[in-house]
Structure 1
Amino acid sequence: MASPDIYTEDYSAAVDFLGLQKIVDRERIGAQAICGLSGMALTAAAADSRIKVVATTSMYDMSRSMSRGHQDYYTREQRQKVVDHLSRQRWIDAENGTYARLSHEVPFDQNGNVAPSNTVLPKNLPPDADPITRIFFDYYRTERGYHPRSINSTTAWTGTTPMSFFAFPLMTNIDMLAPRKALLVAGADAHSRYYSEDVQAKAPGTVDLVIVPGADHVDLYDRKDLIPFGRLDEFFTENLD
């Protein structure tokens, strides 16, 4: 399962451990995150000032994504349908004594009904696949990023995972990050670019934004020719000095 609370706490727990090591300067601890964990890193830093700086790539606000859909496309009626679906699934899981694996970003069918799947990605890419499915398939379902124990590669999260993301929105207190700094890196062609842009717009004096030309969302996972390592190194060096 995924949890906005647990994953955010994981960053503070990591700082606990690092700060107890004699070789670590407690005043020079930063966080870096990719994709879905980026929202948790920013949220953790807003509540834990021991995290001095944060850098993210291809940042996703998973609370926003799960509760409102991509580009906030869910209508109020659709959001209610998702909540009702999750609530019914809780009863099903409780009665069965185990969990189901279903879509964490719940899709709708042509009739307007929720249509979750038991895998994040299809086993075979259909010819009419949308661009977002195509890029994730190219990463998680090929040798580029496939792993037999990867949820995104082979299965799905627990079916009730989105419930906590409805209940606990991330980055509510992003203003508390100041005067510390954050650097958000996004691909110019990334479908997720708007998440980083919206966070930067909320805290322009705190958050710097780097847009990488020619990069989509997953390119910044592993494309060493596109990831701006120099800019990231410079950011941490300057702000942890």
Structure 2
Amino acid sequence: MNRRLIALFVICTIIITGATGKRTSNLNNEKNMEYLNLTTVWNKTFPKSDKVNHSKVTFTNRYGITLAADMYVPKNATSGKLPAIAVCGPFGAVKEQASGLYAQTMAERGFLTIAFDPSYTGESGGEPRYVVSPDINTEDFSAAVDFLITNDKVDPGRIGIIGICGWGGLAINAAAADPRIKATVASTMYDMSRVNANGYFDADDSAEARNALRKKLAAQRTEDFRNGFPKPGGGVPDILPADAPQFFKDYHAYYKTPRGYHERSLNSNQGRNATEAIPFINFPLMSRAGEIENAVLIIHGEKAHSRYFGEDAFKKLTGDNKELMIITGASHTDLYDNFTVIPFDKMEAFFHKHLK
């Protein structure tokens, strides 16, 4: 009987893996990828550069979700493999906004770059739409590294990432999880776990406040299930209240005006699902930041309401290859698209130093 079971197991294994012992399926096989209806027009919030070649690419993450990205390759690239950078953010934005601007600019400076839409967002796949997951969204960065590290134009040992706003915290989380990421930049970062669990400036950092929020979110889950669809959480409002804080006004000036509006951007429109906070409350993004061995650069504006996220994240980092850069006079959203304050020279030098 045991011999029969062993023989059956061997037969099943051959059927599954094939005679060569290799899996018959491949995560990057087009047969296994979701069909994505990608636009072919230039619909970014920034002008197209004549110094880079642009194309659309897709790849899958470890959960089988197909991600869409814009790839930028410097036209003056010499023979040989290039250092590469994957970019994402801000939180609630799409690749046609700030992340694409960063990616195109860094490609002008000699890097092969991609700006990708995270899972469930923009042109990327995943259902239901507009949900978040600290785990899956951290994985999205590693999936981008998978794509870059296997690209014929890329030097697999010279890959970095840039995370903007909420994706700055996710970038640090990804760097802690994935040592293939040799250098990380977190620009104008949020710690999404902290802000969801504690409120802005930790004003609601108590078990009572969190439990009250959990009850509200649980009730919304019930309503969503009963209705058969999730309630949108609302993006940046069309009309700001008279007493809106300055950083709300700054968001409005970016997401709701021709400067940064995009039809697929969640912050420009209806926002993520109303239950967005659920996973972040119990998922501490910075828990392993102190174990990152590779280089990290945190950039923040002096006047950014979010500055405390970056400064406190920096305190968790260890080693002599970590840097904190404060931009004099800059607000949070200045680092989205303001070329006079975004330190591209510093980022170029940082990546050239650590991607070698």
SS in 1 for 2:167: helix
SS in 1 for 2:296: strand
Equivalent position of 1:220 in the other structure:
335
CA distance in 2, matches of 1:216, 1:40: 21
Equivalent position of 1:229 in the other structure:
344
Q: Is the 8 A contact 2:197 2:205 kept in 1?
A: no
Equivalent position of 1:128 in the other structure:
243
Amino acid at match of 1:194: Y
Identity of aligned residues (%): 43
Structure 1 residues 98-113: aligned runs within 5 Å: 98-102=229-233
State the shift of 1:167 in Å.
Answer: 2.3
Equivalent position of 2:201 in the other structure:
71
State the shift of 1:192 in Å.
Answer: 0.5
- Residue 200 of structure 1: which of 314, 323, 332 is its match? 314
Structure 2 residue 202 is matched with structure 1 residue 87: no
CA distance in 1, matches of 2:271, 2:185: 27
Please give the TM-score of this superposition, normalised by the length of structure 1: 0.89
Equivalent position of 2:266 in the other structure:
151
CA distance in 2, matches of 1:156, 1:227: 26
Structure 1 residues 178-189: aligned runs within 5 Å: 178=293, 180-189=294-303
SS in 2 for 1:32: strand
State the shift of 1:19 in Å.
Answer: 1.1
CA distance in 1, matches of 2:264, 2:351: 32
State the shift of 1:128 in Å.
Answer: 2.0
- Residue 96 of structure 1: which of 213, 224, 227 is its match? 227
Structure 2 residue 165 is matched with structure 1 residue 51: no
Structure 2 residue 153 is matched with structure 1 residue 23: yes
* Residues 181-224 of structure 1 deviation map (CA, whole Å, 9 limit, x = unaligned): 10011000000011110011122534210000010000000000
SS in 2 for 1:157: coil
Corresponding residue pairs, total: 224
State the shift of 1:143 in Å.
Answer: 1.2
Amino acid at match of 2:298: L
SS in 2 for 1:153: coil
- Residue 190 of structure 2: which of 35, 60, 73 is its match? 60
Amino acid at match of 2:328: P
State the shift of 1:127 in Å.
Answer: 2.5
Which structure has more RCO (C-alpha within 8 Å, separation ≥ 6)? 1
Higher helix share: 1
Equivalent position of 2:127 in the other structure:
none
SS in 2 for 1:168: coil
State the shift of 1:25 in Å.
Answer: 1.4
Q: Is the 8 A contact 2:292 2:318 kept in 1?
A: no
CA distance in 2, matches of 1:24, 1:39: 25
Structure 2 residue 256 is matched with structure 1 residue 141: yes
CA distance in 2, matches of 1:45, 1:132: 28
Equivalent position of 1:114 in the other structure:
none
SS in 2 for 1:125: coil
CA distance in 1, matches of 2:205, 2:281: 15
CA distance in 2, matches of 1:75, 1:167: 13
Equivalent position of 2:170 in the other structure:
40
* Residues 119-148 of structure 1 deviation map (CA, whole Å, 9 limit, x = unaligned): 222211232221121111111111111112
CA distance in 1, matches of 2:153, 2:351: 18
User: Aligned Cα RMSD in Å?
Assistant: 1.2
* Residues 36-85 of structure 1 deviation map (CA, whole Å, 9 limit, x = unaligned): 11111110110110011101210111111111111111042221111111
